[in-house]
Amino acid sequence: MSHELGRLEDLPADYVQDLRDLNLVPLWPSLRGVLPPHIPTRQTKPTHWPYKTIKPLLLKAGELTPIEKAERRVLVLANPGHGLEKMQASAAMYLGMQLLMPGEWAPSHRHTPNAVRMIVEGEGAYTTVDGEKCPMRRGDLILTPTGLWHEHGHDGTDPVIWLDVLDLPLVYYMEASYHVNGERQTIHPGQSQQQYAHGGVAPTKVFERSKKAYPMLRYAWTDAKAALEGMAADDPALDAVQVTYINPETGADAENILGFYALMLRPGQRLRLPARSPAQVFHVIEGAVQADMLDQSFTLVEADTCCAPGYEAVTLTNLHADKASFLFIADESPLHRKLGVYENRG
């Protein structure tokens, strides 16, 4: 018995037109396109965005467009496999490099997509999320979850740049993407980071449980790096020295749709990451790394970013023989697990 499916061209033209007039489409000519054998069709392509080429263009944008006209001054890191107009890094991830100049204020708003900020360069800026003022320093991860008011300000003297990661493509595809503008927020005293800065302990809710779905908003790089270095020193045989950014009260992923991690590569280390279903984004916080995926090889220096499609193994090599390199990783794992499609093919 043949397994070859019929083509649309095999059907009479008047029959096809009758179907179209009734908003009907025959499935079998397109079945293998939406359900290919063994491995999904992926539009996400291995892509490298060197920071040295992005930064001058981003600073030029600062000269050309005042913050009042931009609201958020961002250059989108678009994956050519999805088409530049779609502004996607992968099926569910959006990436953008954002610039804030000294004295600027990016006004308060909230939106349905979840976002995080990985700080790339500069001092003196901050993000206010739900009334909490979060300082922005290199390597810090700051959450701006769905529905929470957030704004950016800069009291320093030099430009500040950070990497935005959002689940915008998914939320947009669901026809659920929108934003609401707001007024400048009133700063509340205290920082959630101080309450959850130490592993294994959390504030005791003696009188009532916390009403916050996201109790910790700023994950300082100094803490994450210390955790990685402690793990590496404690177990010299450990291959993957990696931590996951989590909700400190539940142990779940820090946000609901995308996963965020920090990875340390020992001096000269070569690490193969297994072929898993979610796409991944790699951003170098410190050091230099070679990333090999499919038939592509990228040399990533500090602040460079690259994207790998799902279902493909990725090999990372620390290009420094005398010191560690550190990467920030974002992926679609939480989404895949919630949908029941997560796979690790080794």
pLDDT band for 1, please (50, 70, 90 cuts). Answer: very low
- Distance between alpha carbon 191 and the CA centroid of its chain, in Å? 23
DSSP 7: P
The whole-angstrom separation of Cα 168 and Cα 78 is 13
* Per-residue pLDDT reduced to its tens digit, 35-75: 999 999 999 999 999 999 999 999 999 999 999 999 999 99
DSSP 289: E
pLDDT (average), residues 263-271: 98
The whole-angstrom separation of Cα 180 and Cα 6 is 49
* Per-residue pLDDT reduced to its tens digit, 102-147: 999 999 999 999 999 999 999 999 999 999 999 999 999 999 999 9
Q: Report yes or no: 82 and 42 within 8 Å, Cβ to Cβ.
A: no
How many helices (DSSP H) and strands (DSSP E) are in the chain? 8, 21
Domains, the chain, in order of start with CATH, read 47-203+213-339 (2.60.120.10)
